[in-house]
Structures are given as C-alpha cells and as structure tokens.
Amino acid sequence: MKIGIIGAGNMGFTLAKLFIKARYQVAISNSRGPESLQEMVKQLGDNCIALKVNDAAAFGDVVLLTVPWRSPEALPDPQYLKDKIVIDAMNPYKENGELFELGESTSSEETAKRLPGSLIVKAFNTIHFKHLADAPQKELPLQERRAIFIAGDNTEAKAKVARLIEQIGFAGIDNGSLHDGGKLQEPNAELYNKEITCGEALTLEAKNRK
C-alpha cells in the first residue's frame, strides 16, 4: 500500500518515518515543492519520494493530511482524493494558538466538506508528534500499546486505518462517528493528549456504556 502525505513538518515527517519503517511506500509534499524536500527524502531512504501536493494525493492509496487546518489552500484538489481513505490529523488552531469556534460542527466534518467524495477518518489528532516518535511499541501485545483514536463514518475505512496504526506500533481504537468521535478528539476534549493504553481505553469505554 502507498501513502501520500500532505504536509512534511513535525507530524508529516514523523509519520512518514514510521510508515517507511513498517515497509510502506511514501510520498511527501509541502507548500514549497519537491525540491525543498530532497534532504528529507535522503534521510527517509529508498521508500520515500517527494512530489507536488496533488501528485502525492494521486500517489497514495491512503492520504494523510498534516498541514494547518486553517489553510484550506494547502489541501489537494478533491478530484485526486475521490473514494480514497483520507486521514485527517489536523487540529483547528488559528495562527495565534486560539481555537476556531465551530459550533455544533467538528474540524474533520469541515475537512469532509472541503474534500467531497473522500472517506475521511480522523486519527493522530490527540497525540504529540514527539510521543509518536518515542512511543511505538510493536513488541507489545495490542492491549498494552498506547491507543490512537479513530473517528469516521465508514467502518471499512476505519478498520484499514486501525491496521495501519498497529503496523507502526500503536493500537487503534474506534471511538465513533466523525461527529461524535470527532468531538471527543478535538483540542481540550476528553481524549486530547490522553496517554492511555488500548486495554485501559476499552475498559473505560465498557464502563461508560453501563
């Protein structure tokens, strides 16, 4: 499976490294073009190439969004993402660090409106990039690994993202629809920055259901 990454900063680079270690082919992209990414490509090795944003979107069977949410112009043209799984890791911060007021909506529902036709799955939003880099635990059983929450409206797409998360050393936990699950993952909500194992997350979920 090939993964296209839109945004090659802290999150994009860290996840590219993890996906490549798990033997995926990765294309990275940024706002300045492939030339500006040559050093990063060298660092990431043979399974990485740098492409323009729309080309990275076309390259990926799965596409990861790690650009600022406040910059919709950074996203690929929706035609390149049609029917693809698109992982939205973006959080709705303004440049000054304040949050956008989204009312009843959530940032990933707004992303879905910007990219009609794609299968949006919200994941990696609640974990700091340094923890992603430091905490992969492939040697541990799933129950003992750190949980990464997955929200979305397409069950099959969420299952594929969960598998991807397992392969990079974490455990994916389905936490509901893009709306309900997405609300819990937003900055300052219940799951944001929550360091919790998969086993603990499942116990908590069972308690909440009672």
Q: Given the rule CB under 6 A, which residues bind ligand NAP?
A: 7-12, 30-32, 66-69, 71, 73-74, 89-91, 93, 124-125, 128-129
**In the complex, minimum distance from the CB of residue 28 to ligand NAP, in angstroms, rounded to a whole number:** 8
DSSP lists the bridge partners of residue 6 as 29, 65
Residue nearest to ligand NAP (CB): 9
**In the complex, minimum distance from the CB of residue 209 to ligand NAP, in angstroms, rounded to a whole number:** 27
Count of CB atoms within 10 A of residue 174's CB? 17
**Amino acid (one-letter) located at 201:** A
Q: Are 165 and 148 in contact (CB under 8 A)?
A: yes
Decide whether 74 or 198 has the Cβ nearer to ligand NAP. Answer: 74
Distance between CA atoms of residues 85 and 98, nearest Å: 29
Decide whether 92 or 176 has the Cβ nearer to ligand NAP. Answer: 92
Q: Are 159 and 124 in contact (CB under 8 A)?
A: no
**In the complex, minimum distance from the CB of residue 14 to ligand NAP, in angstroms, rounded to a whole number:** 8
**In the complex, minimum distance from the CB of residue 149 to ligand NAP, in angstroms, rounded to a whole number:** 12
Decide whether 13 or 24 has the Cβ nearer to ligand NAP. Answer: 13
Decide whether 66 or 106 has the Cβ nearer to ligand NAP. Answer: 66
Tell me whether residue 202 is exposed, middle or buried, using C-beta atoms within 10 angstroms of its C-beta: 0 to 12, 13 to 18, 19 or more: middle
Segment holding 36, helix H or strand E: none
Decide whether 32 or 209 has the Cβ nearer to ligand NAP. Answer: 32
Buried residues in 143-154 as b, exposed as e (16+ CB within 10 A): eebbbbbbbbbe
**In the complex, minimum distance from the CB of residue 163 to ligand NAP, in angstroms, rounded to a whole number:** 20
